[in-house]
Every structure is written in C-alpha cells, then in structure tokens.
Amino acid sequence: MRYEVLVGERTVQVEMAADGGLLVDDRVVALETTPLDAGAWTMRLDGMSHEVHLLSRDPLRLWVDGHEVRASVTDERALVARHTGGRAASGRHELRAPMPGLVKGVHVSEGDLVRPGMPLATLEAMKMENELRAPAAGRITRVAVSEGTKVEAGALLVVIAAG
C-alpha cells in the first residue's frame, strides 16, 4: 500500500511492502514497532529508537520524542485520483497505474519531450489493453517500469516535468 505523508512542511512517499518492509522516497527503511499501550509505541526506524504517542487522529497529531508533530496521510486511492492525469503542485505530472495490471509496453524514455495525449505506456488489465497518455507537455524525467512489469493500482509509471 502506498501513502503520501506530510510531516510538518516535508512530504514523503511511503510504501508498505507485502513482506512488512517499508520504502520511504524509494529508499528501503528498517522499521520495528512495539506497542506500549493504547495509542503509544516504541519505533525503531533505521536503528534509531523513538517513542511515539497519538495525540489526535483528525487532525493527526503525534508526540514524538518529546515534540509535537503534525502530519497528514493520503492513501493510495486518493493519490491515484489526484495524480492520474492531474497536475501535481510541484509542476510535475505523475502517471500512475489506474488499476492493477501488466505493463505491455513503454513508449518513452527519460529525456524525451512529450505533448498532451501522446502514448506513454500500455497497461493490460482484465484482458484489455489500456493506452495511458501524457496529461500535459513536458520532459520525461523518470520511467519507473519496463515492459513485463506487474503493477498494482497507484504504482508510479512515468514522471513528466512540466514544460
């Protein structure tokens, strides 16, 4: 499951892997949690221990190592709705898989210039091929998949820098 987490002024992409692993901004992070009581945990994150207490859920407020931290978490479904064909606030566009499937073709490479509507990738889902097109003009800055890759809904496929 993929999440976008805003902590203070910083936004990070967090993905929970099926094997219990954690990816933070595409970097593998070791995480161990031990419940202390209702709404409190000890978390060991990349070897560093932190005590975390839940202060409130809406808005999300935590007490981490003696400091209040405000955060928000957006789940995978909301990210798909926000980013598929939409403009991100940073001036970049993220093309994400609208559903789970198999990447049948990638039609661009990093550095390519694209126009709105140009095909970027083909995704096979439920025995149908879906051509995913550029939502805007720009330069391809990242191709996150290759032909033959199986993806989940919300998986990052291609990033376009607005131009």
Q: Give residue 47's region: left, alpha or beta (phi > 0; psi -120 to 50).
A: left
Domain boundary at 45, 75, 105, which?
75
**7 and 60 in one domain?**
yes
Question: What is the dihedral sign for C-alpha 16, 127, 81, 55?
Answer: negative
pLDDT, one tens digit per residue, over 69-105 is: 998 887 765 665 555 544 444 578 888 888 889 999 9
| Residues spanned by the domain of 131 | 86-162
Average pLDDT over residues 98-122: 92
**155 and 112 in one domain?**
yes
Number of separate domains in the chain: 2
pLDDT, one tens digit per residue, over 127-140 is: 888 888 888 889 99
Q: How far is CA 31 from CA 6, 24, 42, 74, in A?
A: 19, 11, 10, 20
Domain boundary at 75, 103, 128, which?
75
How many Cα atoms are found within 13 Å in the side-chain-facing hemisphere of 94? 16
Res 8: pLDDT:
78
- For the entire predicted model, the pTM comes to 0.47
**71 and 95 in one domain?**
no
If you ran DSSP here, which 8-state letter would residue 81 be given?
H
